[in-house]
């Protein structure tokens, strides 16, 4: 692909495992100190897999997820926060004081395994690593509710009922196939992103920019590709260029791989 760099796609069976069989794909990611963690480390607990990033305002909702983690911890529950970020240093300022697990995914392994195309995305995983509720938009606080139009409370209340009472907001049949798989172009975009990320680590700006441009063309609706790539080429992910593309994405119907946000008008179960 360029500069002697090669990227390999993950087996599509991993996504079928998540999207069709509702079994959480295996996960091995580092924490901010470089220690590797596996998803089955928390087997026997209910868990929320919460994706966020330093390039998204959802980074400011981490204290809300920490509060939920603390509240429900006595009931056998944990939040596992995963930053879709280039390095631990990108994440560290926003994780200060948190005690819930915080991992990071510089190569977008999680987003490919679970077919995630935006942050924040939350996955409910039960004690047996069965996906109880697949990818969905959710927030840990109302910090940006005026901007997103989504309040955190309805989803958080559903999580509380699930953890304390075992009540799910839907059946397995409803959850199965509820999230669409990645297209071939979206998978290819992730390969270009990985090449770009490695080129960035090596200081090769031309290769970084070229592969990010191609990745963005292949997956124009995937914010974990085009917005995540902005800091790698010196662009502001909170600047005017972002808002222009964000409005274009909204005009296309805000397409993403996941369930819509829970609203107050929906039943809790």
pLDDT at 12 (0 to 100)? 86
Q: How many CB atoms lie within 10 A of CB 67?
A: 15
Which residue has better confidence, 5 or 49?
A: 49
User: What do you get for the CA distance between the two ends of the chain, in Å?
Assistant: 48
Cα 58 to Cα 144: distance, rounded to the nearest angstrom: 8
Instruction: Specify whether the CB–CB gap between 108 and 117 falls below 8 A.
Output: no
Contacts of 176 (CB under 8 A, 6+ apart): 19, 20, 22
Whether 50 contacts 84, CB under 8 Å: no
Work out the percent of the chain whose per-residue pLDDT is above 70: 95
Q: Which of 40, 261, 267 is nearest to 133 (CA)?
A: 261
Q: For residue range 61-89, what is the model confidence (pLDDT) as tens digits?
A: 999 999 999 999 999 999 999 999 999 99
User: Which residue stretches of the chain are H helix?
Assistant: 12-19, 62-72, 88-95, 109-114, 145-148, 153-165, 172-175, 184-201, 205-218, 223-229, 240-251
User: CB neighbours (10 Å) of residue 93?
Assistant: 9
Above 50 in pLDDT, residue 4? yes
Distance CA 189, CA 186 (A): 5
Bridge partners for 255 per DSSP: none
Residue 62 near residue 98, CB atoms below 8 Å: yes
What's the token pair of residue 82?
């995963």
* Model confidence band, residue 6 (pLDDT cutoffs 50, 70, 90): low
Which one, of 221, 218, 217, 220, lies nearest residue 254 by Cα? 221
Model pTM? 0.93
Q: Is the pLDDT of residue 266 over 70?
A: no
Give the pLDDT mean for 22-39.
96
Average pLDDT along the chain: 93
Give the Cα separation of 230 and 204 in Å (integer).
15
Long-range contacts of 180-187 (CB under 8 A, 24+ apart): 180/19, 180/115, 180/257, 181/12, 181/15, 181/16, 181/19, 181/115, 181/257, 182/15, 182/112, 182/115, 182/117, 182/257, 185/218, 185/219, 186/117, 186/218, 186/219, 186/222, 187/9, 187/12, 187/112
Residue 32: count other Cβ atoms within 10 Å of its Cβ.
17
What pLDDT, on the 0 to 100 scale, is given for residue 11? 77
Judged against a pLDDT cut of 60, whether residue 3 lies above it is answered with no
């Amino acid at each position: 692909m360029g500069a002697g760099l090669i990227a390999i796609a993950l087996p599509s069976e991993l996504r079928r495992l998540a999207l069709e069989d509702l079994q959480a794909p295996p996960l091995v990611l580092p924490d901010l100190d470089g220690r590797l963690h596996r998803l089955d480390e928390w087997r026997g607990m209910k868990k929320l897999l919460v994706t966020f990033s330093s390039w998204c305002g959802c980074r400011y909702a981490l204290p809300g997820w920490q509060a939920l983690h603390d509240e429900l911890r006595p009931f056998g529950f944990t939040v596992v926060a995963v930053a879709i970020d280039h390095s631990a240093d990108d994440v560290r300022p926003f994780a200060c004081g948190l005690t819930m697990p915080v991992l990071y995914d510089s190569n977008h392994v999680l987003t490919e395994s679970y077919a995630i195309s935006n942050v924040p995305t939350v996955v409910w995983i039960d004690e047996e690593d069965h996906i109880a509720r697949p990818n969905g938009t959710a927030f840990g606080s109302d910090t940006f509710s005026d901007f997103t139009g989504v309040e955190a409370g309805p989803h958080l209340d559903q999580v509380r009922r699930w953890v304390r009472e075992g009540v799910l907001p839907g059946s397995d049949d409803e959850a199965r196939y509820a999230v669409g798989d990645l297209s071939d172009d979206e998978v290819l975009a992730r390969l270009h992103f990985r090449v770009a990320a490695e080129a960035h680590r090596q200081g090769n700006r031309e290769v970084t920019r070229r592969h990010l441009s191609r990745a963005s063309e292949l997956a124009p609706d995937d914010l974990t590709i085009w917005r995540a790539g902005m800091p790698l080429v010196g662009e502001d992910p909170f600047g005017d260029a972002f808002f222009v593309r964000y409005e274009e994405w909204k005009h296309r119907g805000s397409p993403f791989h996941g369930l819509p946000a829970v609203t107050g008008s929906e039943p809790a179960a």
